[in-house]
Amino acid sequence: MEVEILQDDGAASGRSVTLDPTIFEIEPNDHVIWLDVRRIQAHKRQGTAKTKQRSEIRGSTRKLYRQKGTGNARVGDAKSPIRRGGGRAHGPQPRNYRQNLNKKTKRLARRSALTYKAQDDGVFVVEDFDLDTPSTKAVSSMLDALDLADTKVLIVTGENQPTLYRSARNLPKVSVQEAGSLNTIDVLDAEAVVLQESALEEITRVLSVAQPA
């Protein structure tokens, strides 16, 4: 697939680039995408939910009343889970929700997500650019020029660009991500992916698959 390289003002640069077919033209694997999305979302969970068990409740361990002869159901101390103010039976305890996937599976998920964006004509390539000072207006003007004003956009940079990040963070539908940190959710969540040339080179280097001879 060949796409035109645009300037940051939306004008054509007169150059084009061929997107690697092993990244942008594969048969998407929905199950692998689901596995990777579940992994990423699981890593965001703190796992700090905690309730007090019976042994952690403050109070007497005295049996409230005798076992037999009262006509009431037998009961232990006031910390019993069946009594108000008692411990929680089988309540949540701190745990680690992290899940693991091998590198090949994670890369296949990213390739599948990028293929979906390419199929929807949602991949744009622009020349490398940066901002000397933070300017939300400059980023907004660039997106207007690219016809992406009301679109949820992911701008992928080749390297860390804090000025560009600060310029875009006040735009609710725009996010900036470095190519080396790009993940499946980032791609799927955006309606359009704007790749700097250096970002495309990095993505190709990491995700490209050698074709059999």
Q: Does the pLDDT at position 197 exceed 90?
A: yes
The set of residues, in sequence order, having a beta carbon less than 8 Å from that of 5 and lying 6+ positions away, is 13, 15, 16, 17, 125, 126, 127, 197
Look at residue 14 in the predicted model and tell me its pLDDT: 84
Give dist(CA 185, CA 97) in Å, integer: 18
- Between the alpha carbon of residue 52 and those of residues 62, 63, 77, 84, the distances in Å are 19, 20, 16, 13
Torsion angles phi and psi, residue 13, rounded to 5:
-90, -10
| Range with lowest mean pLDDT among 7-21, 57-71, 166-180 | 7-21
Q: Determine the pLDDT at residue 212.
A: 55
pLDDT score recorded for residue 38: 97
Average pLDDT over residues 60-74: 92
Q: Is the per-residue pLDDT at 177 higher than 90?
A: yes
Q: What is the mean pLDDT of the chain?
A: 92
> Which of the residue ranges 5-14, 53-62, 171-180 would you say has the lowest mean pLDDT?
5-14
Q: With 80 as the cut, is the pLDDT of residue 211 above it?
A: no
- 137 CA to centre of own chain: 26
Q: pLDDT tens, 74-124?
A: 889 999 998 889 999 999 999 999 999 999 999 999 999 999 999 999 999
d(CA 42, CA 100): 10
Cα 64 to Cα 28: distance, rounded to the nearest angstrom: 64
Whole-number pLDDT of residue 190: 95
Would the pLDDT of 48 be above 60? yes
Q: In what order do the strands lie in the sheet with 2-6?
A: 12-18, 2-6, 123-126, 192-196, 153-157, 174-178
pLDDT at 198: 94
- Predicted confidence (pLDDT) per residue in 13-39, tens digit: 888 899 999 999 999 999 999 999 999
